[in-house]
């Protein structure tokens, strides 16, 4: 289900978070499906259970999963996941545009690139 990239510079818990978000976005982990237990996943990946616990805690804090005491962790509603991902993408776009502006890229050039990315502008 999840594989880790030992060459990736991100901490392992961040890789786990990223993989789960990807699986949820692709529908591989559907709404209300149960995640593997902390212990099971830690054994499967040969990592410390605290690492998985940290990833699950962050996913829950961000609203991607919810916990049921004594039963485990589950994927939250699909519509909520979509809304969360849209918010994350908007924030990433804001950060990219701010960085582009700070590097002196003009508003017109930024708009041109965005139009090219969405397929409505010229391909230059």
User: Hey, what are 21's tokens?
Assistant: 């978000």
CA nearest neighbour of 23 among 47, 38, 3, 1: 1
The span from the CA of 19 to the CA of 27, in Å, is 12
Summarize pLDDT for 57-105 with one digit per residue, the tens.
Answer: 999 999 899 999 999 999 988 677 777 778 888 999 999 999 999 999 9
Residues contacting residue 21 through CB under 8 Å, at least 6 positions apart:
59, 64, 85
Cβ burial of 52 (10 Å; 0-12, 13-18, 19+) is: buried
SS3 at position 119? coil
124 has a pLDDT exceeding 60? no
| pLDDT > 90: percent of the chain | 65
Among 10-14, 20-24, 35-39, 116-120, name the one with the lowest average pLDDT. 116-120
Q: Whole-model pTM above 0.75?
A: no
Pair 15, 5: CB distance under 8 Å: yes
């Amino acid at each position: 289900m999840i594989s880790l990239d030992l060459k990736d510079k991100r901490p392992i818990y961040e890789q786990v978070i990223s993989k789960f978000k990807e699986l949820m976005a692709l529908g591989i982990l559907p709404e209300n499906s149960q995640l593997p237990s902390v212990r099971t996943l830690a054994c499967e990946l040969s990592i410390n259970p605290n690492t998985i616990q940290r990833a699950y805690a962050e996913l829950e804090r961000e609203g991607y999963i919810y916990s049921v005491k004594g039963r485990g962790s589950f994927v939250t509603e699909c519509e909520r996941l979509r809304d969360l991902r849209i918010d994350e993408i908007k924030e990433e776009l804001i950060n990219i545009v701010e960085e582009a502006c700070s590097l002196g890229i003009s508003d017109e050039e930024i708009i041109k690139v965005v139009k090219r990315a969405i397929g409505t502008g010229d391909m230059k």
